[in-house]
């Protein structure tokens, strides 16, 4: 079985899942909620399995090392987000998040076959020690959690705008209540900060143990530190009672863009330009 076939297949199942949620949003009286939830769980489980199998077939683990090309890194990060959404469906029934999240998840899966995969010519992530492997795994989990935080921020911005305009579109009505969104977003934000801190610390420890120095001027470290500082400041503001939901959501998206640039942006540009 070809991995390049599995990723678009996973993307198609994800798009079908998104279609089910959008259809339910516009045809509430004609679709059984329990049937939709069961179909959604099934389709997303199949999609996650296809993504995981595609990653395994690319053989990212060889000779006790992990090495990711751009396609493997993208697929692995997408898989983590898929699993988090599945957990949310199972635990909290958060179907409304899929209105925005699922179409976006489908994009990297559908374009995965067109991403560079040749390890002999393209930049890769290559681990050579347990510390580096642990740093890579923590970083990817931090990215996945921050992705979920960013999507909650987008929903909060859309809901806030709709409430100000007093126009409740069916898509807006399908989203969680404003207070629930704020609570979930702040909970995810705190997890993001702790995971980012752990990723930065494990990265520094790995650099010191393996190379006896800190590469603080590396673009990844600088962007990760900027994102961590911004998110930490937001939490401090919330603890002080200085809470502006709209501004907080906007700054979370800024921090997310910084992390995107740190983990994928430079690699993507170098891979296609070089």
pLDDT value of position 75? 86
Per this entry, what is the length of the chain?
Answer: 274
Which is higher by pLDDT, 173 or 163?
Answer: 163
What long-range pairs does 231-237 form, CB within 8 A, spacing at least 24? 231/189, 231/192, 231/193, 231/196, 231/255, 232/193, 234/189, 235/186, 235/189, 235/190, 235/193
- Mean pLDDT calculated for residue range 105-130: 71
pLDDT value of position 181? 80
Q: How many domains does the chain have?
A: 2
Q: Is there a domain that residue 255 lies in? A: yes
pLDDT reading at 170 higher than 90: no
Q: Is there a domain that residue 120 lies in? A: no
For residue 190, name the pLDDT band (cuts at 50, 70, 90): very high
What's the mean pLDDT when you consider all of the chain? 80
Q: Please indicate, yes or no, whether residues 274 and 230 belong to a single structural domain of this protein.
A: yes
For residue 52, what are the domain limits?
1-111
Which is higher by pLDDT, 176 or 203?
Answer: 203
Sheet holding 65-68: strands in order across? 61-62, 65-68, 125-126
Q: What is the pLDDT of residues 24-55, one digit of tens each?
A: 777 755 556 667 778 888 999 999 999 999 88
Q: What is the pLDDT of residues 194-249, one digit of tens each?
A: 999 998 888 888 877 877 776 666 777 788 889 999 999 999 988 887 777 888 99
SS3 126: strand
pLDDT reading at 274 higher than 50: no
Give 67's strand partners: 126
Q: Please indicate, yes or no, whether residues 61 and 106 belong to a single structural domain of this protein.
A: yes
pLDDT value of position 123? 45
Total Cβ atoms within 10 A of residue 156: 23
Q: Please indicate, yes or no, whether residues 101 and 202 belong to a single structural domain of this protein.
A: no
pLDDT value of position 95? 62
What are the tokens at 147?
A: 């992705």
Max mean pLDDT range (51-65, 97-111, 163-177): 97-111
pLDDT reading at 87 higher than 80: yes
User: How many angstroms separate the Cα of 64 from the Cα of each of 17, 133, 267?
Assistant: 36, 10, 24
Q: Position of tokens 């959008």? A: 22
Going by C-alpha positions, the residue among 149, 253, 258 that lies closest to residue 194 is 149
Q: What is the pLDDT of residues 55-69, one digit of tens each?
A: 888 877 765 567 777
pLDDT value of position 110? 92
Angle formed by the axes of helices 3-26 and 33-57, nearest 10°: 160
Q: Is there a domain that residue 121 lies in? A: no
SS3 129: coil
Q: Please indicate, yes or no, whether residues 209 and 105 belong to a single structural domain of this protein.
A: no
Are 15 and 92 in contact, with CB atoms under 8 Å apart?
no
């Amino acid at each position: 079985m070809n991995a390049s076939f599995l990723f678009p297949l996973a993307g198609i199942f994800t798009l079908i899942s998104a279609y089910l949620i959008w259809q339910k949003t516009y045809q509430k009286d004609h679709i059984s909620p329990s049937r939709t939830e069961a179909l959604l769980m099934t389709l997303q489980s199949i999609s996650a399995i296809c993504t995981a199998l595609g990653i395994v077939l690319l053989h990212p683990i060889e000779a006790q090392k992990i090495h990711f090309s751009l396609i493997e890194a993208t697929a692995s990060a997408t898989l983590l987000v898929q699993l988090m959404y599945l957990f949310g469906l199972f635990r909290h029934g958060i179907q409304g998040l899929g209105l925005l999240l699922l179409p976006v998840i489908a994009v990297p899966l559908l374009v995965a076959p067109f991403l560079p995969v040749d390890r002999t010519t393209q930049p890769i992530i290559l681990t050579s020690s347990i510390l580096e492997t642990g740093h890579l795994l923590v970083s990817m989990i931090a990215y996945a959690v921050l992705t979920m935080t960013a999507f909650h921020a987008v929903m909060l911005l859309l809901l806030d705008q709709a409430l100000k305009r007093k126009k409740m579109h069916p898509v807006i009505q399908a989203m969680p209540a404003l207070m629930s969104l704020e609570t979930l977003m702040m909970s995810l934000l705190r997890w993001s900060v702790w995971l980012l801190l752990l990723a930065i610390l494990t990265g520094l420890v790995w650099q010191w143990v393996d190379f006896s120095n800190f590469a603080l001027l590396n673009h990844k470290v600088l962007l990760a530190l900027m994102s961590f500082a911004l998110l930490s400041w937001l939490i401090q503001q919330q603890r002080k009672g200085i809470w502006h939901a709209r501004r907080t959501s906007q700054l979370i998206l800024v921090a997310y863009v910084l992390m995107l640039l740190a983990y994928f942006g430079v690699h993507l540009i170098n891979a296609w330009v070089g």
